[in-house]
C-alpha cells in the first residue's frame, strides 16, 4: 500500500471577522477540509482517503466581543494592543488583512506587515500575508487604448494602475505589501488581491438596492447618475475561493485581480435587482442625490462611481477556482436573491386565516399584518383591484395592442358575471395566485383572509400557518344583530344570507375532504382560536397565542431613522395624552371651583338670613328691656345718683344700694322664684 502523508491545518488570522466581507471569507475557509493523499500523484486514484479535518483554524479581530464566538471562529480579539496583536499574528501561518470595505484598517494593516517583516528572522515556518484590497486603486487609471474603451485592464499591468483620490492610502499599502514579500519569499510571502465590488450572502455595498426593492415602499428604485459605468464585481464566496487558492498554490505573481467575467453597468445591476425583488421600475436621479442617502458610506459612494473593464488573468491561468457566480450578479440574480433572503432571515410568512362569517377574521388579519408587516389578501379586494386595472386598459387602449384591450374586456365581462357568486371562478383563482406570487408577497408574506373554503381550492396554495378562528352560532348571530345597518349591507350579512353562509361553512368543515383535512395531509398544523368580544384581557391573550405560534417578525429591524420617528411619534402621543389629561384635570378643577363658589354663595345667603332673624329677635328683646329700665329703674336710679353726688358718702355703692332699697317705687317684697310677672321684668329667655 502506498505511503500516505497527512496535511496539517493552518492557523489563519483575518481582521474585522464580524464584518460582511471578512465574515463570509472566514466561513468559507473554515469549511475547507484536509485530505490524506498518496505521496505519488499517479497513484491518487487508487487509494484516496478523505478526512474531514478542517484545513484552517480561523482567528481574528472583532469590533465587539460576543458572548460565545461563532462555531467557525476559534478565537476572537477585541481591540487588542499592538504587542498582543503581534503575538497573535506570530502564532498564525496565514495573515489576511481585508481593507476592501473599511479604510480605517489601512493603518493597522500597514503596521502589521511591517512588524511581521521585521520579525521574519524569528519565523519557524513560512508565513503568508494576504492583503485584500479594492479595484478602486485602479479607478483613475489611463485607458490602455483611447480608441478601444472596451480593452480591459489585467493584473499583469498592475504597475500602471492609478488610484481614486480617496484611495491613495490603499495603493500605498499595496506597494508596501508587495515590497515586503520580495526579500525572502520562502520565509515571508505576501500577496495583494484586488477585489471587485462584492455581492452575495446577504449583500454589502449593494445592500441598499436590495433592501429598497425588498421593502417595496418605493414605486421606483433609484439609479444615481447615468448608470452606464462598468462596475467590476465578484461574489464574496468566489473571493474567498481565490484567497483559499492563493494559500494552497502560492502562485508566483504577488498581485492578483479578483473579478468575475461580467462587465455589468450600474444600471444593469440596479434594474435586475429591482425586477427580481421589487417593483421592476427604476428612475435615474442626479448622482449628487446619493449623498443624501444615509445608508451608504463615503467609500461605498465612491465605489459606485467606478468605471473599469477588468479581467483576472492570473486567477484564470494560475489558480483552480471553483466558481460560484462566474457570470456575475445579473446572470445569477435568482441565486443571489435567494442567498440574500436566507442570510438575512427575510423569509416570507404565509398565513391562512379561516373561520365562519362575522367571527372577526378581517380585524384579526389586519392586526397580524400590522405586527408582522405582511400583506392582507382577500378574494374580494383582489378581484376589485384587478377589475379596476382591466377597466383602465379598456378605457385607454394601446393602438398597437388592440388584442390586449379585447382580452381585457372579455376577462372583465367574465369577472362581472361571477363577482356576486359565492364560488370562486378559475379567473378569480388565477388572479389570487398572481397576487400571492407577486414580489411583495414573496418578500414579506401575506395573510390570506377567509380563503380557501374548499379542498380543491386549497390544493393551489402553499401556506405555512393555518389559523382557525371560531365561535358558537349564537355568538355570531348576536354579533351580526348588533352591527350597524350599513355594515350589514356592505358585508352581505342580511339575516337570510348570513344564515345561509354560516350553514355552508359548517357543512364544508364537516366534509371528509375539507380544507383542514388538506392541510393536515401536508403536516401543516392548524391552530384553533376562540373569538372574543374585543375586550381586554381576552384580546391580548388571543394575540399573544398567535404571535407565539407565528414566531418573531421576519423583516428588517427598525432603522435609526425609523427608531427616531417612532420615538418622536411616541413622544407626541405622550404629550398629547398628557395635554388631554391636563385639560380634563383643569376642567375638573374648574367644575369643583364652580361648585365650591355655588355652595359658598348658598351658605352666605343662608347665613345672612339667619343673622337678620337673630338681629330682629335681639332688637325685640332689647326694646322690652329698655322700656322696663326707663319706666321702673332709671327714675329711682337717677335720684339715687343725684343724692349720692350731693352727700358724697364714704361708700357710694353701699349708699346707692340702700337708697334704691328704701325708695323702691313698688311696695312689694323682692323678686323670688317664679315672680317675674310681679317684677315686671321681661322673660328674656322664654
Could you report the per-residue pLDDT of 125-176, keeping only the tens digit for each? 999 999 999 999 999 999 988 888 889 999 999 999 999 999 999 999 999 9
Is residue 354 in a domain? no
CATH of the domain at 162: 3.40.50.720
Average pLDDT over residues 442-454: 91
Is residue 133 in a domain? yes
CATH of the domain at 447: 3.40.50.300
Indicate if 539 and 392 belong to the same structural domain: yes
Indicate if 627 and 604 belong to the same structural domain: yes
Residues 6+ apart with CB under 8 A from 289: 222, 224
The domain boundary, picked from 550, 568, 594, lies at 550
Q: What pTM value is reported for the model?
A: 0.79
Half-sphere exposure of residue 575: CA atoms within 13 angstroms, side-chain side: 6
How distant, in Å, are the alpha carbons of 152, 374, 379, 435, 441 from that of 448?
52, 10, 9, 11, 11
Give the C-alpha separation, 616 to 444, whole Å.
Answer: 90
- Can you tell me which residue has the cell 496535511? 7
Please say whether the beta carbons of 256 and 193 come within 8 A.
Answer: yes
Q: pLDDT value at position 562?
A: 75
Give the C-alpha separation, 404 to 412, whole Å.
Answer: 12
Helices (H), 181-265: 207-215, 236-249
Give the C-alpha separation, 305 to 266, whole Å.
Answer: 9
How distant, in Å, are the alpha carbons of 38, 49, 51, 55, 634 from that of 3?
6, 12, 16, 21, 156
Helices (H), 256-306: 266-277, 298-303
Is residue 80 in a domain? yes
Average pLDDT over residues 285-310: 94
Q: For 574-624, write each residue's pLDDT tens digit.
A: 999 999 999 999 999 999 999 999 999 889 888 888 888 888 888 887 887
Q: pLDDT value at position 683?
A: 44
Please say whether the beta carbons of 337 and 277 come within 8 A.
Answer: yes
For the record, the C-alpha cell of 380 comes out as: 374580494
The domain boundary, picked from 523, 550, 577, lies at 550
Indicate if 624 and 669 belong to the same structural domain: yes
The domain boundary, picked from 505, 529, 550, lies at 550
First to last CA, the chain: 144
Phi-psi region of 674 (alpha: psi -120 to 50; beta: other; left: phi over 0): left
Average pLDDT, the chain: 87
Q: pLDDT value at position 684?
A: 40
Please say whether the beta carbons of 408 and 387 come within 8 A.
Answer: no
Q: What is the CA 396 to chain-centroid distance, rounded?
A: 40
Whether the predicted pLDDT of 420 surpasses 70: no
* Domain count across the chain: 3
Is residue 104 in a domain? yes
Q: What is the CA 507 to chain-centroid distance, rounded?
A: 42
More confident call, 683 vs 333: 333
**Confidence band for 288, pLDDT divided at 50, 70 and 90:** very high
Please say whether the beta carbons of 170 and 104 come within 8 A.
Answer: no
Q: Where are the beta strands (DSSP E) in 315-436?
A: 349-354, 375-377
Indicate if 29 and 88 belong to the same structural domain: yes
Is residue 447 in a domain? yes
Indicate if 577 and 529 belong to the same structural domain: no
Surface-to-core class of residue 372, CB atoms within 10 Å of its CB (0-12 exposed, 13-18 middle, 19+ buried): buried
Q: Which residue segment(s) compose the domain that 83 sits in?
A: 10-203+233-261+309-327
Average pLDDT over residues 462-478: 90
Indicate if 521 and 583 belong to the same structural domain: no
Indicate if 575 and 525 belong to the same structural domain: no
Please say whether the beta carbons of 196 and 233 come within 8 A.
Answer: yes
CATH of the domain at 566: 1.20.890.10
Q: pLDDT value at position 673?
A: 43
Residue 230 DSSP symbol: B
Indicate if 27 and 155 belong to the same structural domain: yes
- Cα 456–462–465 angle (5° rounding)? 110
Is residue 288 in a domain? no
Cβ atoms within 10 Å of 650's Cβ, excluding its own: 7
Give the C-alpha separation, 156 to 153, whole Å.
Answer: 8
Indicate if 20 and 140 belong to the same structural domain: yes
Give the C-alpha separation, 518 to 409, whole Å.
Answer: 36
- Can you tell me which residue has the cell 471553483? 322
Residue 8 DSSP symbol: P
Give the C-alpha separation, 571 to 554, whole Å.
Answer: 27
Share of the chain above pLDDT 90, in %: 55
Indicate if 507 and 564 belong to the same structural domain: no
Instruction: From 409, 406, 375, 370, select the one nearest 390 (Cα to Cα).
Output: 409
Q: 151 by DSSP, 3-state: which?
A: coil
Task: Rounding to the nearest 10 degrees, give the CA dihedral for residues 21, 23, 25, 29.
Answer: 180
How distant, in Å, are the alpha carbons of 632, 660, 664 from that of 644?
19, 11, 16
Whether the predicted pLDDT of 43 surpasses 50: no
Instruction: From 545, 525, 383, select the one nearest 465 (Cα to Cα).
Output: 525
Average pLDDT over residues 458-472: 87
Give the C-alpha separation, 529 to 532, whole Å.
Answer: 9
Indicate if 610 and 536 belong to the same structural domain: no
Is residue 132 in a domain? yes
Q: For 615-664, write each residue's pLDDT tens digit.
A: 888 888 788 788 888 888 888 888 888 888 988 888 888 888 888 888 87
Indicate if 459 and 315 belong to the same structural domain: no
Is residue 534 in a domain? yes
Whether the upstream peptide bond of residue 219 has omega within 30° of 0, thus cis, is: no
Amino acid at each position: 500500500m502506498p505511503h500516505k502523508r497527512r496535511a496539517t491545518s493552518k492557523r489563519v488570522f483575518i481582521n474585522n471577522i464580524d464584518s460582511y466581507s471578512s465574515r463570509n471569507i472566514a466561513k468559507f475557509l473554515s469549511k475547507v477540509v484536509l485530505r490524506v493523499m498518496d505521496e505519488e500523484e499517479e497513484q491518487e486514484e487508487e487509494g484516496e482517503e478523505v478526512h474531514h479535518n478542517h484545513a484552517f483554524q480561523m482567528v481574528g479581530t472583532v469590533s465587539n466581543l460576543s458572548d460565545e464566538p461563532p462555531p467557525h471562529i476559534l478565537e476572537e480579539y477585541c481591540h487588542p494592543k499592538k504587542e498582543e496583536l503581534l503575538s497573535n499574528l506570530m502564532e498564525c501561518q496565514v495573515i489576511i488583512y481585508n481593507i476592501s470595505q473599511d479604510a480605517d484598517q489601512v493603518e493597522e494593516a500597514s503596521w502589521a506587515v511591517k512588524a511581521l517583516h521585521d520579525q521574519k528572522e524569528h519565523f519557524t515556518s513560512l508565513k503568508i500575508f494576504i492583503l485584500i484590497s479594492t479595484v478602486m486603486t485602479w479607478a483613475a487609471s489611463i485607458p490602455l487604448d483611447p480608441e478601444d474603451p472596451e480593452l480591459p485592464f489585467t493584473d499583469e499591468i498592475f504597475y500602471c494602475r492609478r488610484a481614486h483620490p480617496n484611495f491613495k492610502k490603499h495603493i500605498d499599502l499595496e506597494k508596501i505589501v508587495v515590497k515586503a514579500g520580495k526579500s525572502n519569499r520562502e520565509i515571508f510571502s505576501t500577496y495583494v488581491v484586488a477585489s471587485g465590488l462584492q455581492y452575495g450572502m446577504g449583500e454589502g455595498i449593494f445592500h441598499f438596492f436590495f433592501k429598497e426593492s425588498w421593502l417595496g415602499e418605493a414605486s421606483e428604485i433609484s439609479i444615481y447618475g447615468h448608470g452606464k459605468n462598468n462596475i467590476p464585481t465578484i461574489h464574496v464566496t468566489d473571493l474567498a475561493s481565490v484567497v483559499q487558492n492563493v494559500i494552497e498554490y502560492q502562485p508566483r505573481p504577488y498581485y492578483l485581480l479578483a473579478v468575475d467575467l461580467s462587465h455589468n453597468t450600474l444600471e444593469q445591476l440596479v434594474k435586475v435587482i429591482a425586477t427580481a425583488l421589487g417593483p421592476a421600475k427604476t428612475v435615474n436621479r442626479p448622482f449628487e442625490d446619493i449623498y443624501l442617502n444615509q445608508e451608504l458610506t463615503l467609500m461605498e459612494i465612491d465605489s459606485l462611481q467606478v468605471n473599469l473593464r477588468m479581467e483576472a488573468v492570473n486567477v484564470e491561468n494560475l489558480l483552480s477556482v471553483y466558481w460560484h457566480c462566474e457570470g456575475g450578479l445579473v446572470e445569477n440574480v435568482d441565486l443571489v436573491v435567494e442567498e440574500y433572503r436566507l442570510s438575512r432571515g427575510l423569509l416570507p410568512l404565509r398565513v391562512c386565516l379561516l373561520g365562519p362569517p362575522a367571527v372577526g377574521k378581517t380585524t384579526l388579519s389586519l392586526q397580524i399584518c400590522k405586527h408582522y408587516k405582511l400583506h392582507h389578501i382577500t378574494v374580494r379586494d383582489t378581484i376589485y383591484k384587478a377589475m379596476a386595472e382591466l377597466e383602465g386598459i379598456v378605457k385607454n387602449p394601446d393602438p398597437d395592442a388592440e388584442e390586449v384591450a379585447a382580452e381585457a374586456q372579455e376577462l372583465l365581462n367574465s369577472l362581472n358575471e361571477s363577482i356576486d357568486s359565492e364560488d370562486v371562478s378559475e379567473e378569480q383563482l388565477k388572479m389570487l395566485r398572481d397576487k400571492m406570487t407577486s414580489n411583495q408577497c414573496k418578500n414579506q408574506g401575506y395573510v390570506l383572509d377567509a380563503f380557501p373554503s374548499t379542498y380543491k381550492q386549497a390544493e393551489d396554495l402553499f401556506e405555512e400557518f393555518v389559523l382557525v378562528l371560531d365561535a358558537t352560532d349564537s355568538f355570531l348571530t348576536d354579533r351580526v344583530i348588533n352591527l350597524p345597518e350599513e355594515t350589514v349591507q356592505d358585508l352581505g350579512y342580511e339575516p337570510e344570507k348570513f344564515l345561509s353562509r354560516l350553514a355552508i361553512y359548517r357543512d364544508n368543515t364537516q366534509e371528509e375532504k375539507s380544507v383542514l383535512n388538506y392541510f393536515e395531509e401536508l403536516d401543516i398544523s392548524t391552530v384553533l382560536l376562540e373569538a372574543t368580544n374585543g375586550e381586554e384581557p381576552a384580546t391580548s391573550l388571543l394575540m399573544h397565542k398567535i404571535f407565539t405560534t407565528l414566531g418573531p417578525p421576519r423583516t428588517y429591524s427598525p432603522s435609526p431613522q425609523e427608531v427616531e420617528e417612532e420615538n418622536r411619534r411616541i413622544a407626541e402621543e405622550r404629550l398629547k395624552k398628557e395635554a388631554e389629561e391636563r385639560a380634563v384635570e383643569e376642567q375638573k378643577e374648574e367644575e369643583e371651583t364652580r361648585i365650591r363658589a355655588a355652595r359658598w354663595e348658598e351658605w352666605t345667603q343662608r347665613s345672612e338670613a339667619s343673622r337678620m332673624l337673630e338681629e330682629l329677635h335681639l332688637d325685640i328683646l332689647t326694646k322690652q328691656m329698655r322700656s322696663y329700665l326707663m319706666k321702673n329703674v332709671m327714675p329711682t336710679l337717677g335720684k339715687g345718683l343725684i343724692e349720692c353726688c350731693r352727700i358724697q358718702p364714704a361708700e357710694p355703692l353701699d349708699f346707692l344700694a340702700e337708697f334704691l332699697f328704701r325708695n323702691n317705687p313698688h311696695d312689694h317684697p323682692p323678686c323670688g322664684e317664679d315672680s317675674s310677672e310681679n317684677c315686671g321684668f321681661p322673660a328674656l329667655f322664654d
